Chains A and B, each alone.
Chain A
Amino acid sequence: MFKLVLRNLLGHPIRSAITAVSVGVALFLVCILTSIITTLQSGLAAASSTRLVVMSSISLFQDIPLSYQERIASVDGIASVVKWQWFGGYYKSQENFFGQFAVDPERMFEVYPEVKVDEATKQKFLTQRNACIVGWQLAAEFPEWQETGKIPLTGALFPHPSGGAWDFELAGIYRSEAANFDNRTMFFRWDLFEETLKGNGDSPGVGVYVMSLDPGADVERIRAEVETMFENGPATVRCDTESEFTRQFLSMLGDIPMFLGWIGAGVLVAILLGAINAMLMAGREQTHDIGILKALGFTDGAAFGVLIAQSLVLCLAGGAFGVGLAALLEEGIALAIGSAFPGFFIETTTYIGAGVASLLVGLAAGAIPAWNALRVNCVEALRAKGA
């Protein structure tokens, strides 16, 4: 009977191909949309609840004083404090958008042990003033950096005193093994940043301080102590765990997961209706064949099976195509949307979910024609016009 199922599908190759590809494209989109959601959520899940972030109590875009660093570091239970400042420059053109941060090089490796570099890279970054490190995804986008070793950036927020570009030298590539730390960012040294800006007569502020804690440190006490410490200072601060900070940062983007979820659901419903339509046509055309099968002694259940199997084969083939396409393009998509969704990846459970979705679409699309095949009277079916 499986031969009959396949022959019926191959009997209308264009219709079958269009339906399967439609299901495939829809499930590919669902895989991508779902993965954007899981990528956002995994960043949140991976964010540490024992790493603290200090920012201005007014907004993330308000700087806090440089002088706070040593006072924060003096709080009992804090192991290390690294300062971050958003540079906001661009490479060649403003379309080449990626994150660049001025950081304390030694402390960065102390606070973020998940950021891995080789020893030569680390030494160069720690010792050479204009050295920088970039994530592997970013390095893949601009292969010329590794060829020349130079990264000239135009400072949009912080223009270079010379009026020209900031010339950085690539120390090496970093890889982050954790979802909360993306691989599409550039880090350069704070001392270069600060000293260069002095040429403009500027003294830079700090975007955020990130602290790692001693083992067993009391997170709530430290948070409260840091916030209280600057209550009467030039800038009041709030101190959150990294996970809370990440959650609040993502919430600034709006409810993206819900929005993407609705789009994914809409795509699935649309493709379900398309598949139902294709299967209703197939069922109508095969009514006569169903009559023949019943006349030969095949049961109503067998007739049901012929139609539902066609729908399942069609939708599962489409699902396999969509999942395969997503797996094939995962790396390229990660690069393409890396600026908006750093650390994009497709989880195994997403592939499994897409497979289950194609199975359910197949069952739902084949249900009506299969039910009709089950119920149709043999004599009536034989009177129906064949395909």
Chain B
Amino acid sequence: MSESMIRVRGLTKRYERGGETLTVLDNLNLEMEEGRFYALMGPSGSGKTTLLNLIGGLDTADSGELVVAGEDVAQLSGADLAAWRAANVGFVFQGFNLIPVLTARENVELPLKLTPLSGAQRRQQAETALKLVGLGDRMDHRPRQLSGGQEQRVAIARAIATDPKLILADEPTGDLDRKSAEQVLDLLGRLNREFKKTILMVTHDPHAAERAQSIVHLDKGQLGRIEHNQPAAAR
């Protein structure tokens, strides 16, 4: 049995909307192992992205315990939470979320500025990450000069640049055509298999979810069934 990467106990998150309290995650319990590829599925409003944001330290829970990569994230705040995030989590978003005024290389270098690496080391590491995602020839292009698939691969290179243990991907293929989506899913699968990254991917797409080793279903903020499969890429 591998070690736990994510441990969720009694996690609750509520939002105030128009004077009403909306419970998005309701006393959720969940455990995810290190080094596995998880897909998180569920209908809209089931709490998938909220859970992802809480695990990634982008948002804070109202109650419950949330231990990620050995750290009780719920106890962190402000600069400590930001530092933890920088060291342990890589994000891949549906809308790519690259900074438009920076080149691909500069976008990938950005999280490395929070490390003690020198400028030359940062540059080298960013170039390595971009080559890994197959964009060695697009390093000096800005996001608007790249296709959607290429932008998402830059985002993946940025997510792995600091060598985090956990990669959180929120609908990473949602804005991509089928071919680009396959490339991105191949890349995530490779990161999991070859680099032992724990990947948690939110998706609506059953085809994308098939790439994961486990599919966790959420419904109305509560845990549904968990499926285990043999990922297509590994077969």
Contact = CB atoms under 8 A, between A and B. Distances in A.
Contact of B114 (A289, A296, A300): A296
A3 B82 CA distance: 21
B86 A296 contact: yes
B113 interface: yes
A297 B82 contact: yes
Interface string A345-386: 000000000000000000000000000000001110010001
A292 interface: yes
B113 A1 contact: yes
B53 A297 contact: no
B142 to A, nearest CB: 9
The A interface is mostly helix, strand or loop, or mixed, namely helix
A387 interface: yes
A298 B82 contact: yes
Interface in A283-320: 288-289, 291-301
B181 to A, nearest CB: 21
A3 B113 CA distance: 12
Interface string A11-22: 100000000000
Contacts of B86: 296-298
Contact of B97 (A3, A8, A295): A295
A293 to B, nearest CB: 8
A295 B93 CA distance: 11
Contacts of B85: 295-297
Interface residues of A, number: 26
Given A299-B78, A299-B79, A292 B99 contact: yes
16 contacts: A7-B102, A289-B99, A289-B100, A292-B97, A295-B91, A296-B85, A296-B110, A298-B82, A298-B86, A298-B114, A299-B79, A300-B79, A301-B79, A378-B59, A379-B53, A386-B100
Interface of A: 1, 3-4, 7-8, 10-11, 288-289, 291-301, 377-379, 382, 386-387
The 5 A-B residue pairs whose C-beta atoms are closest, nearest first, are A297-B86, A7-B101, A296-B111, A297-B85, A11-B101
Interface of B: 53, 56, 58-59, 78-79, 82-87, 91, 93, 97-102, 106, 110-111, 113-114, 158
Given A296-B111, A297-B84, A386-B100, 4 more contacts: A1-B113, A3-B102, A294-B58, A299-B78
